[in-house]
Structure 1
Amino acid sequence: MAKDILQTFSFDNTDIRGAIVTLDTSFAKLVDGSHYNAEQHQLLGQFCAANLLLTSHLKLDGLLSIQARGNGPVDLIVSEATHDLTFRGLLAGEVDEQHDLLALLGDATLVISVEPENGQRYQGIVPLDHSDLAGCLQSYFQQSEQLPSWFAFNVTEEHVRGVMLQALPADRCPDPQQRAEDWQRITHLASTLSDQEMQDLDNETLLYRLYHEEQLRLYDAKPVDFRCSCSRERMERGLLSLGETELNDILNEQETIETDCHFCHQRYAFTAADVRALISGNHYQKTH
């Protein structure tokens, strides 16, 4: 089975499209160096897969993110993906055993943001009101986009798999009754997908098993990879935001300041000389 790829597909004579993503080495890179347990791994894998599925239909250069923030044992889950299918993600909070999403996040919201490289940011927010991510996303698209959607995820220690179906506005099939019948049939067949099939089958075989009686077009696979956008320059800006007084107070207690990227766990170290140079350079920029 091909790994770290995303493929889109469509059904002839219907207004239904889909996407399927498989993460292997790319997700291993994300969790490498972290202390995520199996339950945290499961949640974060679902969010990353969902993020890439949604990004597969992004028609502009930019970033799409999915974020859930609440007041439960898990404070935050966030995943980001770019138009060229690189992604990163993080989870903050404790997950000791399997619980549904509502129990973990408590009173929470689901936020989906699109940030074009050129253009205005778009953000949709809905209450997190389902016990799993698939249900939350389906509710989100029904409420905010009026696009009936269906999602399924499977996460193991070895890989992450996600499948998405979406009904588009009427184009190929204008008849409302036929559109409803198409959607009911396609999603019913998708609901027969087993965890074992999600884990074992390549995309072509999986879709053939589900839809061998449908006229389905499977498009070329695109590579997916983990990539973090952190940098020393970004960390420097973060340090400067603390202010000169606080930075000096920290350096009075320790010789270096170390800060970690929460996404990729890369550690950045700044000596007292580094910090003084930062402060001096910041003063210069403000006065010139």
Structure 2
Amino acid sequence: MANNTAAPWQKGSALVYALFLALPVGLFCLFYIYPVLETFVLAFQRWDGLSPRRVDVGLGNFMALLRDGRFHHSLLNNLRWLVFYVLAPTGLGLALALLANSLLFGRGLAKFVYFLPYTLPPVAVAAIWRWLYEPSAGLITRVLDEIGLGFLAQNWIGDPAIVTYSLMVSAAWWSVGFSFIVFFAGLQNLPRECLEAARIDGASSWQTFTKVTFPLLWPSTAVALGMSSVDAMRLFDIVWAMTAGGPAYASDVLATQMFDVAFGRLKMGEASAIAVCMLFVSAAVILPFIVYMARRVEEASNDQ
């Protein structure tokens, strides 16, 4: 008959494990789980963040958002950023990875140069591009003046019609390094026999890329596109540091509106409702994409 009684040293080990886990689990619940639950509760209340009294308003905060033109514009901007992040940084990262992988010399330097911007904090990136975009003495304006194209100079982040696209350029310069390093790592791990077989069969460079290289890069593509989608929906730092959502809320996204409503207008309930909407919109946009990409990665793995 088996003896199920645990040895004393085993009981002591279990206690040690529990004590070591208690602190991180407690901190996770305190600083993550509790704020998330509190946000859902606040979304149905009116509170200024200071007074001890909260007023239940039911769906009032959400109904106010449905009537708020600023919320509609912020949501539309987030969807624009989603399309941009999926196409531009990911495509540029793939192109740069292919270029660096084709170099016989200087791959290390290429990796350093392409990935360097991504190591900068977003606030530093914002400071650099605010200087570049300065309408009277910024580098872009001065270069255009020097080459005789001064008429093309714009108030890059002061014009509501182009401010979002100007911010996208700065975000692409910063974020392309992540996609580059993901694709470059994927290219380094491609099975060489498949590429050699394509060359022996007489495939052109384009045929090799479309029929062999790119299908084998689906795992890297899933990572790059998935992270880009998440970044687009939680975008805050670059937009807030460069324009604070202006001018006239033209560059607002959901996160900047939420921050302004919460700490600028002290409407914690309405800001929490924006946060809840961000969660569900992000889930509705990103989860189907993740499921689709996971299936494609599984199919690519089974085909190898």
Superposition TM-score tier, normalisation by shorter sequence: under 0.3
Question: Counting strand residues as a fraction of each chain, which structure ranks higher?
Answer: 1
The answer to which structure, 1 or 2, has the higher relative contact order (CA under 8 A, 6+ apart) is: 2
User: So what's the TM-score if we normalise by structure 1?
Assistant: 0.22
Question: Counting helix residues as a fraction of each chain, which structure ranks higher?
Answer: 2
User: So what's the TM-score if we normalise by structure 2?
Assistant: 0.22
